[in-house]
Structure 1
Amino acid sequence: MTEETARGGPVGDSDPDKRIPEEGIQPRGKWANKMEFIFSMAGEIIGLGNVWRFPYLCFKNGGGVFFIPYFVFLFFCGIPVFFLETSLGQYTSEGGVTAWRKICPMFEGLGLASQVIVTYLNIYYIVVLAWGIFYLYNSFKSPLPWSSCDNPWNTNLCHSSISKFANPHLFQPDSNWSFLNNITTPDYFTENYTYMNETDIFSISTSPEEEFWIHRVLRMSDGMSITNMHWDLALCLLAAWVICYFCIFKGIKSTGKVVYVTATLPYLLLILIFFRGVTLPGAADGLKYYLIPDFERIADPNVWRDAGTQVLFSYAVCQGVLTSLGSYNKYNNNCYRDCLGLCLLNSATSIFAGFAVFSVLGFMAHELGLSMYDVASSGPGLAFIAYPKALSLLPGSSFWAVLFFLMILFLGLDSQFVCVESLATAITDMFPRQLRRPCARELLVLGIAVVCFLLGLPMVTEGGIVLFTLMDTYGASGITLLIIACFETIVIAWVYGVDRFLDNIEDMIGYRPFPVIKYCWLFVTPLICGLTMLYNLSDTYPFMVYDYMPGKWSSVVGSLLIITPLICIPAFIVVSLCKNSKNMTTPSADLRQAKPHKPILTLCKYVIFKARPQPNRRADEANEKMMMEEPSRV
């Protein structure tokens, strides 16, 4: 035991920011300034889910009532786990896997589980960017190709709508409307037309936006083959990966600069769309459906489940990304203040995006004479069918379509390349001797990009949408994220010791976080996550994506996607048990412990787990190394 340890002073690294790497290994980088970290985190957590998922969930789950369960999950699950992962990365200066190895070796599998989920995201999430690039290219055409039925991919059932707001000259007496549809009228149809009204005719029709999405972009067929490649979409996917690669191939030196553009430009575009949307006729009706609360829905457990899964998805927790980004902070960065500010920004962006989305959807419902229930949708249906249809009704529709798909592209791009950066960081920290060398980083990122590109190619085939939906639904499923969140809080609070971790945070930022955080990690967060997970498991959860898809096949794939990351947790517990059973829960000796002789867990001033001071093994190893290197006097 060293003299410093005997006095009860700090043990471990005296200055974690000045660790000397081994000979031949490049030092681990740090953010050039705080703003690079803030923008990178904002780019990761503020993505497509804020625009195409949160507003729809509010509409679906009782309007303003949805804010109640959402903020309950945010304050008692989202923020505690978000702060835990970010501070863990900053404290250990390690990526998503090795951070858990240093904190508690037996739970290294938690880090690997999160990296499996990030790998899922790297494979399928970028397909959305490929669709966005395809739509962006077509947005420069006038008229927009999805606004009319006069295209080779349209069927006889296609029927388009003309906006009175954008084309008032057509709404004059004796105007010719024959160009609106492609419906051919057989003899029997003409003979019986007197018995059918206009609503009956168009009830069997489809919109040009739907047909563009189904027959031009996805090109789905009855066989749903995954061997029939769509090469134009494959080129869009390749373009997305090329952009992503050059954003991050130099590590945080390039990532930190790119996020200044990718994280801020979507806000500018969203503000422009918002001001255009709220000035349109019918916008007030859309906002009413978005905000007016239906208090009867508050007792529906499905509303609470949707709120919980939205918080976990939106805040990118349990994916190792926050740990990786936090690991590039300087040791004394105030990550607590940063996390609170980022969480508030994320939720405010989601709420603001709802105004931009539902004002435009309200206008569309007003123009077409439909109810909000007929036009509101979520996910790709909102971004690639509903919203393009609404924009096509506006004057200067091509301009607004370009702005919208630019926003989609930038929202998805920074989330994508930060996920790739996170995976590269985790792998590099696992094999520093091999990968922290000149050009190794560039080759690693290139390898990740090539492998994920090839694995993503089946999603741009005729049956690709089925694979995409399976990955989106079960790859980063609510069940998986909830289980990982439970484990993370339990390991930090009860195994490593919540008081010891709070002492570490106090050593970094100069003060202890709000006391509620401690009890969230100990009890509230694992309890809420556990109950939500049990409800998900008890609820009927069919592995069925489309009616034409065999239920057994989708069930097997969905189950594998869920089980694969989770199996890492018990597998590494067994590995740790066989490898070093005596030190399964012993944290790394090079972690700085400011108060090594304080109890690691107390409740109401009662000591639950006493202090577990460690000998300074690093000093002993250094002495041994010096003795071995001392020249012989013979």
Structure 2
Amino acid sequence: MLSVAGGFIGLGNVWRFPYLCYKNGGGAFLIPYVIFLLGGGIPLFFMEVAVGQFTSQGGITCWTKICPLLTGVGYASVVIVSLMSVNYIIILAWGLFYLAHSFTSELPWATCNNTWNTADCLEDSLRSAANFTNVSATHLRHISPVIQFWERKVLGLTNGIEEVGELKWDLTLCMIAMWIVVFFCLWKGVKTTGKIVYFTATFPFLMLFILLIRGITLPGAAVGIKYYLYPDLTRLSDPEVWIDAGTQIFYSYAICISVLTSLGSYNKYHYNCYRSCLILSCMNSSTSFISGFAIFSILGFMAEEQGVDISQVAESGPGLAFIAYPKAVTMMPLPSLWAVLFFIMLLLLGLDSQFVDVEGQVTSLVDLNPGMLRKGYRRQMFLGLLCVISLLLGLTMVTKGGMYVFQLFDYFGASGICMLWVAFFECVAVAWLFGVDRFYDVLEDMLGFRPGPWMKWCWLVISPSLCLACFIFALVKFTPLTYNKDYLYPPWAQGVGWCLALASMICVPGYAMIRLLMAEGSLKKRISLLSSAAALA
């Protein structure tokens, strides 16, 4: 259970959840989040783990035992997790970069006397009401050194994806180092990973609690917390708020990326995964909620300090956590020490998730041909090959325009719209084609009891309805991708993004068509045969 906790309680909670809250009006985001959590997140989380435990197969082959016609959902899940692992390691590279720059007596993002700072940079000590009137007019549009360190030093940000630019070798080395760590930690498979997460899954919670205490004691924190907790109900009419809430549930719960089915396959047949799933769900969402308090208390402080509305205090994109959290440690005693501890925490959270994502990817693919890939060191060689391929793809994200590529992958390739598509067909496979009553019989055999009716009705009606509605809204209300609200991605980049999205979604109907063409008999007979697990006989 600790491996799963470490794997899905990670950066999605302390990095993605706060910036989506900030983007969507704070408390307004929490209402659809809770609805999707109860109607989709927890039921689908339990369903995937139970499918893996029942079949003892990875994320692809498990579906051949449930509904051969929809085995494509397994292939789609592996495509999503493959793109996600390429994306995810970049966040770890950023974290390692910050960690390397934390071993100094004065944190480089706390001052404006660095080579990357511009004339607009204004240190926090000059922003007090007492001193602000003495600041020259050139600083009226002042920029925090934290923001300049992020945009100018870490990213070296260009003007757009058209200007990808050269490799940033410091970030490239950080990314390579992270892939080396992932490879050797997964060398012996899930048993080694399970031992490692005893530390990596517990230390981050202590650090998060410390940051929370520091955040809520800052002046202006109440403003941020109010923005976080009090919803602007008018925002609920915006479909994007609902779409982001649904996709965040899937992202943070690792649903539809083959991870849960793969990890569930390692459980003993009679293991009580129902109880574990409920406990882990509480831990997951509680971590997100607490992280929101930490982030928004810091944003409230920054808003008061800069004299602006909290909605304008920082970018609402992926870089939010790399601005708000580093800002927090500069205001603590011994800031360099706390910076080191914080970025170690960030790396441990991210590595946990990366371990589980890559392990799920490898397990799913190895189970396609276990006779060949489990002999000798072939599994390790296959793992190494996947790491190298992912590293090469990730090189595009450690260039000076890499942030634009990163966000393109995040918005399309590893996006919620793809997960919603897969989740809908997972519900169809289990509840409608395999049969929800039949699956409940399986659960009773495994667990020794039948779960309550809520799960049954979620799988039959609520979860697929939420997924389908959210998917349709996402298509109808689709808006072209932007960076930081002011840069619009060109049409060719949007086209590349849709190709990334279709790479996973096409697997479901594509595989079904191939199986139907290969089967014998009338079309009705083929569909009937392939829709039943009896097709395995």
Instruction: Say whether the fold is shared (TM-score over 0.5).
Output: yes
Is residue 218 of structure 2 the alignment partner of residue 280 of structure 1?
yes
Matches within 5 A, 1:51-450: 51-162=14-125, 201-222=138-159, 225-226=163-164, 228-450=166-388
* Closer/same/farther in 2, CA of residues 298 and 164 from structure 1, 3 Å limit: closer
What residue in structure 2 maps to residue 574 of structure 1?
Answer: 513
Would the aligned equivalents of 2:68 and 2:535 in 1 still touch at CA under 8 Å? no
Letter in 2 for 1:322: L
* Closer/same/farther in 2, CA of residues 63 and 214 from structure 1, 3 Å limit: closer
1:439 offset after TM fit, Å? 1.2
Letter in 1 for 2:287: T
Q: TM-score, normalised by structure 2?
A: 0.92
Larger Rg: 1
Aligned counterparts of 1:274 and 1:562: Cα–Cα separation in 2: 36
Q: Which residue, 49, 52, 68 being the options, matches 2:12?
A: 49
Is residue 523 of structure 2 the alignment partner of residue 585 of structure 1?
no
TM-superposition CA deviations, 1:330-366 (whole Å, max 9, x none): 0000111111111111111111111222223333334
Q: SS state of the match for residue 490, structure 1?
A: helix
Q: SS state of the match for residue 111, structure 1?
A: helix
Aligned counterparts of 2:82 and 2:249: Cα–Cα separation in 1: 20
Would the aligned equivalents of 2:373 and 2:379 in 1 still touch at CA under 8 Å? yes
Matches within 5 A, 1:615-634: none
1:550 offset after TM fit, Å? 5.3
1:62 offset after TM fit, Å? 5.0
Aligned counterparts of 2:242 and 2:151: Cα–Cα separation in 1: 33
What residue in structure 2 maps to residue 553 of structure 1?
Answer: 492
Aligned counterparts of 1:144 and 1:257: Cα–Cα separation in 2: 34
* Closer/same/farther in 2, CA of residues 238 and 305 from structure 1, 3 Å limit: same
Moved more, 361-370 or 486-495: 361-370
Would the aligned equivalents of 2:158 and 2:165 in 1 still touch at CA under 8 Å? no
Is residue 455 of structure 2 the alignment partner of residue 517 of structure 1?
yes
Moved more, 414-423 or 383-392: 383-392
TM-superposition CA deviations, 1:391-440 (whole Å, max 9, x none): 32444222222222122111111111111100110111001011111212
Letter in 2 for 1:258: I
TM-superposition CA deviations, 1:10-32 (whole Å, max 9, x none): xxxxxxxxxxxxxxxxxxxxxxx
1:380 offset after TM fit, Å? 3.3
Moved more, 225-234 or 503-512: 225-234
TM-superposition CA deviations, 1:309-337 (whole Å, max 9, x none): 22111111111111001010000001111
Would the aligned equivalents of 2:164 and 2:399 in 1 still touch at CA under 8 Å? yes
Would the aligned equivalents of 2:36 and 2:246 in 1 still touch at CA under 8 Å? yes
TM-superposition CA deviations, 1:185-229 (whole Å, max 9, x none): xxxxxxxxxxx9959532434332222222211113358644611
TM-superposition CA deviations, 1:487-531 (whole Å, max 9, x none): 110111111111111111111001111112111111111111111
TM-superposition CA deviations, 1:526-552 (whole Å, max 9, x none): 111111111111114214447666522
Aligned counterparts of 1:436 and 1:98: Cα–Cα separation in 2: 15
Would the aligned equivalents of 2:211 and 2:328 in 1 still touch at CA under 8 Å? no
Would the aligned equivalents of 1:157 and 1:204 in 2 still touch at CA under 8 Å? yes
1:61 offset after TM fit, Å? 4.1
Is residue 469 of structure 2 the alignment partner of residue 506 of structure 1?
no
Q: SS state of the match for residue 146, structure 1?
A: helix
Moved more, 282-291 or 78-87: 282-291
Aligned residues: 528
Aligned counterparts of 2:25 and 2:516: Cα–Cα separation in 1: 49
Q: SS state of the match for residue 451, structure 2?
A: coil
Aligned counterparts of 2:475 and 2:303: Cα–Cα separation in 1: 37
* Closer/same/farther in 2, CA of residues 461 and 299 from structure 1, 3 Å limit: closer
Moved more, 295-304 or 265-274: 295-304
Aligned counterparts of 2:202 and 2:328: Cα–Cα separation in 1: 25
TM-superposition CA deviations, 1:65-119 (whole Å, max 9, x none): 5333222111111111111111000000001100012221121111000000000
What residue in structure 1 maps to residue 523 of structure 2?
Answer: none
| Structure 1 unaligned spans of 5+ | 1-37, 172-176, 181-195, 591-616, 618-634
What residue in structure 2 maps to residue 462 of structure 1?
Answer: 400
Q: SS state of the match for residue 332, structure 1?
A: coil
Moved more, 272-281 or 314-323: 272-281
* Closer/same/farther in 2, CA of residues 500 and 236 from structure 1, 3 Å limit: same
Moved more, 304-313 or 244-253: 304-313
Q: Aligned-pair RMSD on alpha carbons?
A: 2.4
TM-superposition CA deviations, 1:260-296 (whole Å, max 9, x none): 1111111011112122222333323322222123344
Letter in 1 for 2:344: L
Higher helix share: 2
* Closer/same/farther in 2, CA of residues 221 and 541 from structure 1, 3 Å limit: closer
* Closer/same/farther in 2, CA of residues 390 and 367 from structure 1, 3 Å limit: farther
Aligned counterparts of 1:451 and 1:64: Cα–Cα separation in 2: 40
Q: SS state of the match for residue 255, structure 2?
A: coil
Would the aligned equivalents of 2:43 and 2:459 in 1 still touch at CA under 8 Å? yes
